[in-house]
Amino acid sequence: MATVETRGVKKHYGAVVAVNGVDLLTRDGEFLVLLGPSGCGKTTLLRMIAGFETPTAGELLIGGERVNDLPPRARKIAMVFQSYALYPHMTVFKNIAFPLKAQRMDKASIPKKVEWAASLFGIGHLMERKPRELSGGERQRVALARALVREPAVFLLDEPLSNLDAQLRASARDELQQFQRRIGTTTIYVTHDQVEAMGLGDRIVVMKAGTVRQIGTPQEIYHEPADAFVARFVGSPPMNLLQHQNYLLGFRPEHFLPRGTQNGKGKVSTFSFRVTRVEYLGADRLLYGLLNGAFADQKVIARLPSTVTVNIQPETNYDFTVEDKELKFFDASTELRISARPL
């Protein structure tokens, strides 16, 4: 079984704690995303799983077997790096053949394997080129082919899309996901981009400051965040969080709508909202402003879909509502999610 498990894994660099006790168990064949801001420890965790860093404490298991003492080449993993790390002095063919040669596969079988991997990504026509002659998208495919050719138990990907320009990123994301579904290998993917995480992951591990804040499907992370950090990190524009006494009240901009325009029939809470700025984005309108009343002078953002055609003027007060079931409450000091409070 090719699951990856970490038990109480920690990593210290002298006084600096990069990873502070992470327990993870992937499911066989799933696409697991490690998400978090820079410095949260996600890349360090990935590198420990790969074998480039030794854990200060804890156990790493791949396929049920303890790998703490194994070098990278013995862990049955494949890795795609942020820069793709293609061997610049070798042709595409040699790049893909390299792992097979390293593992002493007999010379006769190598070309067939390379062609098979190349054909999966449609790069058969690029075999004789050198990496510097390839575009960003082509390089990614070569990196993936090289990773696949050994048929590893686990794929590790370290922000492979961040070097592509924006247009390319969406199509590359699509290709990646299709590819992973097809081969069904357990994949661990590191990113700081929450849109990428939501789009690709079967489950997402949200990390901050070396610890795991929440593990869940994209739906769970988005609709039931475990703490205020997760709530703010995922979603764009971020969730509105208001201070009130000893708790925080949160609701997402798309649930903050003018009175009478809510879709659902449930109970709503009303807020007095003074709009200061309107951004017209085509599909949506973003309204920036401040609340009056109990939450006076706290900044909030509302996102109106184009289907809501209410005329909104800046420097005007409006009554906006949020469905009660979309209100999330967090403890003000621990930032953990708590049950509903009266307003």
- Residue 31 CA to residue 11 CA, distance in Å, equals 24
Amino acid type, 124: G
**Min CB(31)–other proteins separation in Å:** 14
Nearer to other proteins, 21 or 63 (CB): 63
> Would you give the DSSP letter of residue 332?
T
Distance CA(252)–CA(217), nearest Å, equals 18
Residue 150 or 173: the one with the smaller Cβ distance to other proteins is 150
Kindly state the smallest distance separating residue 209's Cβ from other proteins, in Å.
24
Q: How far is CA 13 from the centre of its chain?
A: 25
Closer residue to other proteins (CB): 192 or 328: 192
Please, what is the minimum distance in Å from the beta carbon of residue 325 to other proteins? Answer: 39
Pick between residue 28 and residue 319 the one whose CB is nearest to other proteins. 28
Strands, E assignment, 15-136:
16-25, 31-35, 57-62, 65-66, 77-80
Q: At residue 235, what are phi and psi to the nearest 5 degrees?
A: 110, 135
Whether the Cβ atoms of residue 21 and residue 46 lie closer than 8 Å to each other: no
- 3-state helix, strand and coil shares in percent for the chain, rounded to the nearest 5: 30, 35, 35
Binding site for other proteins (CB under 8 A): 1-2, 28, 50-52, 63, 69-74, 76-79, 81-83, 85-89, 98-99, 102-106, 120, 146, 148, 150-153, 182-186
Which lies closer to other proteins via its Cβ, residue 58 or residue 238? 58
> How far apart are alpha carbons 32 and 135 in whole angstroms?
27
Count the Cβ atoms, other than its own, within 10 Å of residue 179: 17
Which C-beta is closer to other proteins: that of 155 or that of 256? Answer: 155
Residue 253: CB minimum distance to other proteins, A: 38
Per-residue tokens: 177 = 């996901």
What is the b/e burial string over 12-24, where b = at least 16 CB atoms within 10 angstroms of the residue's CB?
Answer: eeeeebbbbbbeb
Structural contact between residues 205 and 25, judged by C-beta atoms closer than 8 angstroms: no
Sign of the Cα torsion 67, 72, 76, 77 reads: positive
For other proteins, the closer of residues 41 and 131 by Cβ is 131
Min. distance of Cβ 120 from other proteins in angstroms? 8
Q: Least distance from C-beta 99 to other proteins, angstroms?
A: 4
Kindly state the smallest distance separating residue 206's Cβ from other proteins, in Å. Answer: 25
Q: DSSP readout, 217-255? A: -HHHHHHS-SBHHHHHHSSSSPPEEEEETTEEEEE-GGG
Radius of gyration of the chain (CA): 24
In the complex with other proteins, the residue whose CB is nearer, 31 or 273, is 31
The distance of closest approach from Cβ of residue 184 to other proteins in the complex, given in angstroms and rounded to an integer, is 5
